[in-house]
Amino acid sequence: MNRYLLTALCLITLLWQTTCALAMTGREVYEKVHELRQKALDRQTTATLVLYDKGGSTRTRSLIEYSKKADPEAYKVLVVFQTPADLKDVGFLIHARTFADRDLWAYFPEFKRVRRIPTTSQDDAFFGTDFSYDDFGGPPNLDDYVFTVQGEETVDGKQCYILDVTPKVHRKYTRFVAWVAKDLWIHLKIAYYQDKVLYRAGSFTDVRMVDDIPTSFKIHMENLTTGHKTELTIDDIKYHTRFPDDLFSQRSLERAGR
Amino acid sequence: MKESVFVSLLLLLVASVSVHAADSISTTGRISLRGTGHIDHEGANEDPDLTARLEIDARKTLWRLHAFIEGGWDGTVRDQPRDTSLLKDLTHVYQDNSPFAEFKELYLERGIGNMEWRIGIQRFSWGRLDEYPANDLLNPWDYNRFLIKSTEDRKIGVPSVSVNVNTKDWTCQLVWEPWFVPYRLPDPGARWSVVPAGSALTGNQEAQITAQEPDLPARTIANGSLGLRVQHPGMIDWAFTLFHGYDPRPVFKTTTLTISQSGEKLRIGPGFEPSFHKITTLGADGATVIGDWSLRAEAAYTFARTFNVRQELWGYPQVLEPGVYSLNPVEVERSSLDYGIGADYRLMEDWLLTLQAQQTEIFDRPASLYEKERETLLWANLKVSWLNQKVETSLNVAYNPEHGASMVRPGIVYILSDQWKVSINGLLLDGPPQSIFGRYAHNDQVEMTVTFSW
C-alpha cells in the first residue's frame, strides 16, 4: 500500500514539475512572437485598407510596405500609398537602430520635402485609419514592457494565451491585452486600454501559412470611442525578399520606393 | 523656338514610351473649380477658374518618363488676353493666356548603378523651410495668385539636366540649367500685380498700364545656372548647397515712363521692367528630432544680390500727365544672409503646430532700401484634423515685425469621398503698401474650391 502511495506521490510531483516547466511566462510568449516577427521582417506587402465611419460611408487606401531585417540595425521599413490620388506616393520610412531606438521620416509629394517625425507620434492614427504608425513598424523592444499571462482561451478554434502587456515607457495606451495563438505565435485579438477604458480593439483573421510564416490576411481594427473602423486586407505578401539598402533611403522615400 | 523643339521631342518620347512601356504606366489627376469672393472691393476682380492637372509615370526597365501637365481657364485673366497660345512658354515674364496648358514637369530618367540621370523640365526642392526656403533657388516662381498657391505650385519647371549620385551615407545632386527661364508676373492691373507704390500709378482706374516685357539674357551656356547639393542622413540630416545662376527673386530696373492720352483713358508705359542678375549662393541646412520637436534650419549667404530702392525714390510724378519722364536708377547690389529655423510640434493627436522664424540680413545696407538691415518673418500654422482626417482645419498666421505687416489664412477642407473634396480658405492681409503682405492689402478674400481627383 505504502509502495503504491509513494509511486503516486512521485508521479504527482513529476507531473507538477513538468507542468511548471512547460507553462510559459508572458515574456517567454512574447519572445516567441518577437522571433517570428523578426523572421517575417524581410517582406513586401500589398494591402488595402477600407475605412468605415459611423455613418456608414467608406474610404479606401492601398499601400505597399517594404521591410528588411538590418544588421547591426534592427530593421528598416518603407510604406508608400498607392491610392487614393490625394495620398499617392505619400510615404514614411523607419530606420530602427535597435528595437528601442528608431528614426522616422515622412514624405508628402505636395511639398516635395522629406520631414522628420518624432517617435512620440508612433501611437497616432495612421493616415485617418484606426491603425497606429507603430502597427506598421517592426517588432517592439521587449524590455520596454511587462508581460503577464492572464489565462488561456480559444479564438477561432485556436488555443491562445491571454497576455496583459504594460508599457514601462509612456505610450498612448496604459496597457493592452493580446490573444497570442499557441504554436503560431501571432496575435488573434488585441485590445488597447487607457486606464480602464477599452478604446481600440482589433482581430486578426484568415490566417494562412506563407513560406512557413503564419500570416493574418485580414485585420479588423475599431476605435471604440468614435465608432470608426478599419479593415486591412493583405492582397499580396512575399517573404525573404532581401531588398537592397537603397530601397530604404530618403531618396527612395522621395521616389515612392521606385 | 528651342523650347518648342525640346517639348515636341519630349512629347514624342512620352507617346513612344507610353505605347511601348510594358512595365508600368500610372496616371493621377485632378480637376478643380474655384470661385473667389472679395472681402475688400478695392482689389481687382477675378472670375471663377477651372483647372486640371494630370501626372503620368511610365517605366520600362531602368527608364522612367514623368509628365505633369496643368491647364484650364485662369480666372485672374479678365481682359482680352494678349497671348492666345495655349502653351505657357519659358521666355515671357507676363503671360495671360486663358485657356492655358503648362508642363510643370516633363523628364526622362535613367538609373545607372548608383546614379540617376534626369533630363527635361524639372522642379527641385532644396532647403528645409516651408516658406521662402533660402536655398531653393533653381526654379523661378509664378507670382500670379501669389500667397494663395503653395510654394511647390508657384514653381515654374525649368529645362535641366540633373544627376544624383547615391552612396550609403551621401547623396550628391548636380543640376545644370542650360537656358535661362524668367519668373512670371501678373499683368499690371491684375489682382496679384504689384506696381510701384507711392506713385500716381497705384490705384488709378483711368489709366491703362501696359507691362513692358524685358529682354532676356542671351541664351548661352554662360547664362545657364548650376546647382550642387550634398546631403548626409543621420541623427542630424544635413546638406550643403551651392548655386550659381540668375536670382529667381523679382527686381526691376527703370526705363522711361511714357504717358499718352487715348480717348478718356491714359495709356501708360510704366517705366520699369523686370531685370535679371546673377548671384552665387552658399548654403547649408539640417533637420533633426529633439524629444517631441521636429526641427529644421537653413542658412544661405548670397554674394551681390540686387535689391530695389524704396519706391518713392523711383522718380514717378505725383500727377499723371501725358509726357515722357525719365526715372531714377533703382537697383542696389549688396550681399545678404538668409537664415531661419522651423519646428513641428504635435500638441495632441491630429493637432500639429508648425512654427517658423526667418531673417534676411543685408550687409552694408544703404538708407535708400525699403528693407531694414534685418528683416524678420514669423510664421505659425496650426493644422487640426477631425473625424479620422475627414475634415481638416488650419490657421496660418505670418508677421513681419519690422513693418507691421501680417497675413492670416484660415482654411477648412472636407473630404466628401476618395475622389471629391471641398475647401474654403480665407485670406486677410495688412501692412504698409511696400511691405511683403501690405502690397496685396486689397486682396482680402474667401475662396471655395471643389476638387475631383482620380
Read off the pLDDT of residues A182-216 as tens digits, 9 standing for 90 and up. Answer: 999 999 999 999 999 999 999 999 999 999 999 99
pLDDT of residue B8: 62
Whether A17 has a pLDDT exceeding 60, the answer reads no
pLDDT at residue A99, rounded to an integer: 75
Looking at the complex, report in whole angstroms how far the Cα of residue A62 sits from the nearest Cα belonging to chain B: 12
Q: Tell me what pLDDT residue A215 has.
A: 97
Determine, for residues A249 and B114 on separate chains, whether the beta-carbon distance falls below 8 Å: no
Chain A residues within an 8 Å CB radius of B235: 103
The answer on pLDDT for A14 being more than 60 is no
- Report cis status (omega within 30 of 0) of the bond before A167: no
**Least Cα separation, residue B166 to chain A (angstroms):** 8
Nearest-Cα residue of chain B relative to residue A244 = B168
Contact A59 B344 (CB under 8 A): no
* pLDDT (tens digit per residue) in B263-272: 888 888 889 9
| Cβ-proximal residues to B230 (8 Å cutoff; 6+ apart), any chain | B170, B171, B172, B173, B239, B240, B241
Q: What is the pLDDT of residue B294?
A: 95
Dist CA B28 CA A173 (whole Å): 38
Q: Mark yes or no for CB contact A85/B385 under 8 Å.
A: no
Averaged pLDDT, B186-194? 84
Closest Cβ–Cβ partner in A83, A111, A251 for B166: A251
| Neighboring chain A residues of B388 at a CB cutoff of 8 Å | 51, 53, 125, 128-130, 223, 226, 228
Tens-place pLDDT, residues A53-66: 988 889 999 999 99
Q: Residue A51: which of B151, B350, B388 has the nearest Cβ?
A: B388
What's the pLDDT score for residue A56?
A: 84
B286 CA: distance to closest CA in chain A (Å):
11
Could you tell me the residue ranges of all domains in chain A? 26-254
Interface of B with A (CB under 8 A): 28-30, 59, 64, 114, 123, 125, 128, 130, 150-152, 164, 166, 168, 171, 231, 233, 235, 237, 287-289, 291-294, 296, 344, 346, 349-350, 385, 387-390, 415, 417-419, 421, 453-454
Q: Which of A134-138, B5-9, B293-297 has the lowest mean pLDDT?
A: B5-9
- Check pLDDT > 90 for residue A15: no
A84–B453 C-beta distance less than 8 A: yes
The residue of chain B nearest to residue A254, with distances taken between CA atoms, is: B125
Helix (H, G, I), strand (E, B) or coil at B125: coil
Residue A160 predicted with pLDDT over 90: yes
3-class secondary-structure state, position B226:
strand
Mean of pLDDT over chain A: 89
CB contact (8 A) between residue B30 and residue A85: yes
Q: What is the pTM of this model?
A: 0.89
* CA separation for the pair A203, A131 (Å, rounded): 12
Q: A128 to chain B, minimum CA–CA distance in Å?
A: 4
Question: Over 70: is that where the pLDDT of A20 sits?
Answer: no
Contact B417 A112 (CB under 8 A): no
Quote ipTM for the complex: 0.86
B346:A128 CB<8 A: no
Q: Is the pLDDT of residue A1 over 60?
A: no
pLDDT digit string (tens) for B45-67?
888 999 999 999 998 888 999 99
B282 CA to chain A: closest CA distance, Å? 20
Note whether B246 and B216 are within 8 A (CB): no
Quick one: pLDDT band at residue B188, thresholds 50, 70, 90?
confident
Alpha helices in A40-179 (DSSP H): none
CATH number among 3.40.50.1460, 2.60.40.10, 2.50.20.10, 2.40.40.20, domain A26-254: 2.50.20.10
Residue located via cell numbers 491585452 = A177
Among B131, B156, B135, CA closest to B407? B131
Task: Please tell me which residue of chain A has the smallest CA distance to B127.
Answer: A113
Phi and psi torsions of B13, nearest 5°: -65, -40
Q: What is the mean pLDDT of chain B?
A: 91
Q: How confident is the model at residue B163 (pLDDT cuts 50, 70, 90)?
A: very high
List chain B residues with CB under 8 Å of A84: 418-419, 453
Query: What is the count of residue pairs from A and B with beta carbons less than 8 Å apart?
Result: 98
What is the Cα–Cα distance from A179 to B270, expressed in whole angstroms? 77
Q: Which chain B residues have a beta carbon less than 8 Å from that of A129?
A: 388
Contact indicator for A82, A244 with CB cutoff of 8 Å: no
Give every strand in the sheet of B265-269, ordered side by side.
B207-209, B265-269, B256-262, B323-326
- In this prediction, residue B77 carries a pLDDT of 82
Look at residue B274 and tell me whether its pLDDT is greater than 90: yes
Q: Write out chain A residues lying below 8 Å of B385, CB-based.
A: 128
- Decide if B233 and A249 are in contact by the 8 Å CB cutoff: yes
Give the pLDDT confidence score for residue A225 in this predicted structure.
92
Q: Report, as an integer, the average pLDDT of B393-416.
A: 97
B-chain residues near A88 (CB < 8 A) = 28
Residue A37 CA from chain centroid, whole number: 8
Using DSSP bridges, classify how beta strands B374-386 and B351-362 pair: parallel, antiparallel or unpaired.
Answer: antiparallel
Which chain A residue's Cα is nearest to B28? A85
Select the residue of A86, A172, A223 nearest B453 (Cβ to Cβ): A86
Mean pLDDT for A64-74 is 87
- Please name the member of B235, B293, B418 whose beta carbon is closest to the beta carbon of A59: B418
Q: Which of B59, B292, B294 sits opposite A116 (nearest CB)?
A: B294
Question: Closest to A53 (Cβ–Cβ): which among B29, B150, B390?
Answer: B390
Closest CA–CA distance from residue B124 to any residue of chain A (Å): 8
B64: nearest Cα among B5, B27, B23: B23
pLDDT score of A18 more than 60:
no
What's the pLDDT tens digit per position in B333-367? Answer: 999 999 999 999 999 888 999 999 999 999 999 99
For B386, the 3-state DSSP assignment is strand
Q: What are phi and psi of B438, to 5 degrees?
A: -65, -25
Q: What's residue B193's pLDDT?
A: 86
Residues of B in contact with A172 (CB under 8 A): 349
The fraction of chain A above a pLDDT of 70, given in percent, is 91
Q: What is the average pLDDT across A67-83? A: 89
Specify the 3-state DSSP secondary structure of B312.
helix
The predicted structure's pLDDT at residue A21 = 42
Q: Flag whether pLDDT at A16 surpasses 70.
A: no
Which pLDDT belongs to residue B169? Answer: 87
- Alpha-carbon dihedral sign for residues B191, B327, B272, B260: positive
pLDDT tops 90 at residue B30: yes
Confidence of residue B23 (pLDDT cuts 50, 70, 90): confident
Show residues of chain B in contact with A119, CB under 8 Å: 289
Q: Which of B59, B168, B417 is nearest residue A245 as measured by Cβ atoms?
A: B168
Which residues of chain A are within 8 Å of residue B287 when distances are taken between CB atoms? Answer: 115-116
Chain B interface mutation, best of A63, A115, A131, A226, highest count of B Cβ atoms under 10 Å: A115
The region of weakest confidence among A152-156, B80-84, B274-278 is: B80-84
* H helix intervals, B281-336: none
Domains of chain B as residue ranges with CATH: 2-453 (2.40.160.10)
Q: Answer whether residue A19 shows pLDDT above 90.
A: no
What band does B20 get if pLDDT is binned at 50, 70 and 90?
Answer: low
State the pairing for strand pair A102-108/B115-122.
unpaired
